[in-house]
Structures are given as structure tokens and as C-alpha cells.
């Protein structure tokens, strides 16, 4: 079994919990995931099965979309409703107009301070490990990309809202919502989070543990897998002849002048063998006029 199995992660499961449970269901050890989700978050978690696990660190599309719920006038040590309350702002009263007015300042490339309760490493230790010891560590502000923020629901009486956020790799939605609250004169906590899209895959493509277990029992689980090359859908495709296919599989650099569909200024490609089957990725070296093997997904 090789490919992508999109899971709808349930609440109170870590991403590693999902991998552990799937190993038991699928009876396969080689599994990886494409991006950590907080335990209390739900939604899209693409799991890389078999040789697809090689793609963990080379996926070109690492953008995400989230549906987030927020409550204004409160702050916690985890920046979400499940943490210990560290402050309240009874005089804070946000209107829809005020919230809509601050949203544009969080678009584009912005700076974020990673929350203490996160998996970011500082000095060789995870921040959440230090937080549990009561240690507040210095951590560098990181640059993240916010593509869009859409306000769907707003309840002025309850001081709650629901938004959709499309963002790049490494964005903390908890931090984003807290920063919005601070921009509005107080603070805010996340009360719910569902990832609706990740690495090009949507919630509609995801399965539950029960559905996967049933497919295993019926012998149809491989039908749930999305082909590995979908991870690289943005790359142009190269089709090799039989001799080139053998050379590529052996790690031999190929002559760019003998390969069809090489595009000037385009370095990354997906590679297909003479039989049309996906075999891996490659990078064009225009200075040396060579096609170098990137990652071969047909190996064990």
C-alpha cells in the first residue's frame, strides 16, 4: 500500500495518535503525516502510506485552510478555551464593524510569536514541555503568510465569531486570534478549530477510523488511497523512455537535451517511466544541463 490516506482527525487525538491507531488498523509501520494538528482540533490530516512517507519533507503545497471559532474578552495560558484562564476583560465589547476593520492588518506576511503550548523546539526542548514546568522561554518571532480571512458569523451579545483562515506553513491560528483580540483592546481565545484543507486535500476526501477499518475488513482499503503523485500536482510531468527509466531508477543524471517537456526556469518535475507509472521527482540543473533524481518513490 502506497499513497495518501486523508483522515478526518477527531478531537483529543494528537497527529501521532492518529498514526499509531492507523498502524494497528492497517498493519503497516511506514506511515507519516503532513502537518501537526492540535489535539483539540479536527479535520484534514493527510497520512502518507508506504513509500509516500518519503514526501514528508519535500511537499511543494503546504498551505492550509481552517474554520476557527473565537471568543473575545478572555485569555488563557494555551490561547484556547481548554487552557487555564490568565486574564479577563469584562469591559471589552467588540462589534462586527470593529472586527472587520482589524482583519486587513493580519493579511499578507505577518510576525507570530509561537505559543508556549506548541511543538516548536527551543534549545532542544519542545515549548510545551517547558510550559508544563512553568518555564516561559524566549522564542523568536516567526514570519508566516495569511492569504485570506473571512468572517462568517458574529454574535455581539456572546462576543463570539467564526472565521475561515487560509494560510501558509507554520501558522498558529490560536496566536492569530489572540493577536486580533489584543488589536481590539483586550484578548481572545480559540474555542474551536477544524482544518478544512491541507496540502491540496479537502475535508470531503477524508475518512474516519471506522471507515478505514471497514475498508480493511472488506479488502478495499487501497481504494481509499490517493496516488502519491497528487502531492506534486503543481510540477510539470516528464515521461522517460525505457533507457532513461532504467537510468533514473539507478540514480543516474540524465541529459536535459534528450528529455521532452523541460521548461526554461522550471527546476522541479514529476517523473514517469516508459510505462506511464509515476516513479519520482527530479530537478533540472540548467548550468550543467542535467536532470538530477530528486526522490524515487518506487524503492522500498
Convert the pLDDT of each residue in 178-206 to its tens digit.
999 999 999 999 999 999 999 899 999 99
CA distance 74 to 55: 40
Do you know the residue count of the chain?
300
pLDDT band at 298 (very low <50, low <70, confident <90, very high): confident
pLDDT band at 122 (very low <50, low <70, confident <90, very high): low
Q: Does the 64-198 domain belong in CATH 3.40.50.12710?
A: no
Q: Is it the case that residue 175 has pLDDT exceeding 60?
A: yes
Average pLDDT of 285-295? 94
Q: Is it the case that residue 252 has pLDDT exceeding 90?
A: yes
Residues of the chain with CATH 3.30.2350.10: 3-58+202-228, 64-198
pLDDT, tens digit (0-9, with 9 covering 90-100), for 91-113 = 999 999 999 999 999 999 999 98
Phi-psi region of 125 (alpha: psi -120 to 50; beta: other; left: phi over 0): beta
pLDDT, tens digit (0-9, with 9 covering 90-100), for 210-234 = 999 999 999 999 999 999 999 999 9
So which residues are the catalytic ones? Answer: 38
Q: Out of 29-38, 48-57, 130-139, 146-155, which region has the weakest mean confidence (pLDDT)? A: 130-139
CATH of 235-296, one of 2.30.130.10, 3.50.50.60, 3.30.479.30, 1.10.10.10: 2.30.130.10
Q: Is it the case that residue 116 has pLDDT exceeding 80?
A: no
Contact assessment for residue 232 and residue 198, using Cβ atoms and an 8 Å cutoff = no
pLDDT band at 265 (very low <50, low <70, confident <90, very high): confident
Residue carrying C-alpha cell 484578548: 187
Average pLDDT of 39-58? 92
* Residue 194: Cβ within 10 Å count: 19
Which range has the top average pLDDT, 10-14, 70-74, 230-234, 296-300? 70-74
Q: Does the 3-58+202-228 domain belong in CATH 3.30.2020.10?
A: no
Residue 134, pLDDT score: 65
Average pLDDT of 242-251? 93
> What one-character-per-residue DSSP string does the chain give?
--EEEEEEEPTT--HHHHHHHHHHHHT---EEESS---TT-EEEEEEEEGGGGGGTTT-S---EEEEEEEEESEEETTSBTTS-EEEE-TT----HHHHHHHGGGGSEEEEE---SSSS-EETTEEHHHHHHTT-------EEEEEEEEEEEEEETTTTEEEEEEEE-TT--HHHHHHHHHHHTTS-EEEEEEEEEEETTEEGGG-B-HHHHHHHHHHT-GGGGPBPGGGGGTTSPEEE--HHHHHHHHTT--EEGGGSTT--TT--EEEEE-TTS-EEEEEEEETTTTEEEEEEETT--
Residue 120, pLDDT score: 57
Residues of the chain with CATH 2.30.130.10: 235-296
Residue 128, pLDDT score: 59
Q: Is it the case that residue 127 has pLDDT exceeding 60?
A: no
Amino acid at each position: 500500500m502506497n499513497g495518501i490516506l486523508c483522515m478526518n482527525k477527531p478531537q483529543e487525538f494528537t497527529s501521532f495518535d492518529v498514526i499509531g491507531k492507523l498502524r494497528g488498523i492497517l498493519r503497516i509501520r511506514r506511515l507519516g503525516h503532513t502537518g501537526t494538528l492540535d489535539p483539540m482540533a479536527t479535520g484534514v490530516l493527510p497520512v502518507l502510506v508506504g513509500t509516500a512517507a518519503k514526501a514528508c519533507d519535500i511537499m511543494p503545497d503546504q498551505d492550509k485552510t481552517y474554520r476557527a471559532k473565537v471568543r473575545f474578552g478572555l485569555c488563557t495560558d494555551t490561547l484556547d478555551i481548554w487552557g487555564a484562564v490568565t486574564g479577563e476583560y469584562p469591559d471589552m465589547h467588540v462589534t462586527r464593524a470593529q472586527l472587520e476593520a482589524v482583519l486587513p492588518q493580519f493579511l499578507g506576511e505577518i510576525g507570530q510569536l509561537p505559543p508556549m503550548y506548541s511543538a516548536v523546539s527551543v534549545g532542544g526542548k519542545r515549548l510545551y514541555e517547558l510550559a508544563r514546568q512553568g518555564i516561559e522561554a524566549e522564542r523568536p518571532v516567526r514570519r508566516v503568510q495569511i492569504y485570506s480571512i473571512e468572517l462568517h458569523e458574529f454574535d455581539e451579545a456572546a462576543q463570539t465569531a467564526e472565521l475561515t483562515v487560509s494560510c501558509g506553513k507554520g501558522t498558529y491560528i490560536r496566536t492569530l486570534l489572540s493577536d486580533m483580540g489584543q488589536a481590539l483592546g483586550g484578548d481572545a481565545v480559540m474555542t474551536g478549530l477544524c482544518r478544512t484543507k491541507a496540502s491540496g486535500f479537502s475535508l470531503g476526501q477524508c475518512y474516519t477510523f471506522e471507515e478505514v477499518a471497514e475498508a480493511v475488513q472488506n479488502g478495499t482499503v487501497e481504494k481509499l488511497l490517493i496516488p502519491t503523485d497528487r502531492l506534486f500536482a503543481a510540477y510539470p510531468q516528464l515521461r522517460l523512455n525505457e533507457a532513461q527509466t532504467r537510468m533514473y531508477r539507478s540514480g543516474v543524471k540524465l541529459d536535459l537535451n534528450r528529455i521532452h517537456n523541460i521548461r526554461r526556469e522550471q527546476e522541479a518535475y514529476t517523473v514517469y517511466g516508459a510505462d506511464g507509472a509515476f516513479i519520482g521527482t527530479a530537478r533540472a540543473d540548467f548550468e550543467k544541463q542535467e536532470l538530477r533524481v530528486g526522490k524515487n518513490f518506487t524503492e522500498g
